Amino acid sequence: KPRILDGKRTASALVDEVRETVEREGLTPGLAVVLVGDDPASQVYVRNKGRRAEACGFLSRQYDLPATTTQADLLALIESLNSDPDIHGILVQLPLPAQIDADRVIQAIAPDKDVDGFHYLNVGRLATGTIDAALLPCTPKGALHLIEQVLGADLSGKRAVVIGRSNIVGKPMASLLLARNATVTVIHSRTPSPAEICRQADIVVAAVGVPGLVTGDWIKPGAVVIDVGINRVEGEDGKGKLVGDVDFDAVAPLASAITPVPGGVGPMTIAMLMHNTLQAARRRSAPSS
């Protein structure tokens, strides 16, 4: 029987640890979450992040801006948050409306407050293996934490396959696995024979956005399978439900460990956001460490 990696439980333990550290060290990490427009999914994400931050004993501030916000206005807000001593983490919820250049906004965030880990400086630190100095993107960081629970921190001798090459999940995931000494292959939309390549993997991380893409014939028996995908599909009862990129029922019997969707990587992402915010606050209070 495979081990089901319970992201909800692991995330809640992590959040407890963050809260205890905050209390013990007498810190008040400040997290600012900026939402532009009224996308309902983004509203839910932002609300959850704020709630988690409060549960951790953080100062939590939410900025709701209208969909018509100009780039200049948003950049001015970022600038003021960059110089606000109470704020240690700044997160701009994506996607942004079309009139705003998302990349310019992300690059305007002070790198030491970039708790999403999307600023070029943090991306570069991860890519060059200067990981301790980096703020790491939350989803791959959470996925790695789950992998570590099964395989430990050193992945020497393990073959890992990452499916998907996005800047927020696939690429940083590959860099993290590489930093842990795994032998890493990235599969993407232009890769021929993906199942054949994936079947060699001891660790599979799927971050695609295609429901059920990874079927049993993609999986080597005993593999650790991490499903990052979150896809809304219609269930048998006609209601919407969430599924991953992995065909769970087909893959689970083959895997040694597997994450469910929902309840796997999803909750880890938000826990790692809290972890990053704490890290940013600690660095600010002790700049030499």
Per DSSP bridges, beta strands 203-206 and 183-187 are unpaired
Q: Please give the DSSP secondary-structure letter assigned to residue 33.
A: E
Q: Which is nearer to ligand NAD, 13 or 233 (by Cβ)? A: 233
Interacting residues of 218 by C-beta distance below 8 A, sequence separation 6+: 194, 195, 198, 199, 204, 251
CA distances to 116, 169, 206, 267 from 241, in Å: 27, 22, 19, 17
The answer to the question of residue 163 lying near ligand NAD (CB under 6 A) is: yes
Residue 160, both tokens: 């890992």
The answer to the question of residue 62 lying near ligand NAD (CB under 6 A) is: no
Give min distance, CB of 92 to ligand NAD, in A. 15
- Name the helix (H) or strand (E) containing 146: helix 138-151
Q: Which is nearer to ligand NAD, 75 or 195 (by Cβ)? A: 195
Considering only residues 131, 210, 242, 254, which one is a binding residue for ligand NAD as defined by CB under 6 A?
A: 210
Residue 16, both tokens: 């407890």
Q: Which is nearer to ligand NAD, 76 or 120 (by Cβ)? A: 120
Which residues from 211-270 bind ligand NAD, rule CB under 6 A? 213, 228-231, 265-266, 269
Q: Tell me whether residue 220 is one of the annotated catalytic residues.
A: no
CA distances to 11, 14, 144, 147 from 8, in Å: 5, 10, 15, 15
Give min distance, CB of 80 to ligand NAD, in A. 28
Q: Which is nearer to ligand NAD, 28 or 167 (by Cβ)? A: 167
Q: At what angle do helices 7-25 and 40-55 cross, to 10 degrees?
A: 50
Give min distance, CB of 285 to ligand NAD, in A. 28
Binding residues for NADP(+): 164-166, 230
User: What residue ranges bind ligand NAD (CB under 6 A)?
Assistant: 139, 163-166, 168-170, 187-189, 194, 207-210, 213, 228-231, 265-266, 269
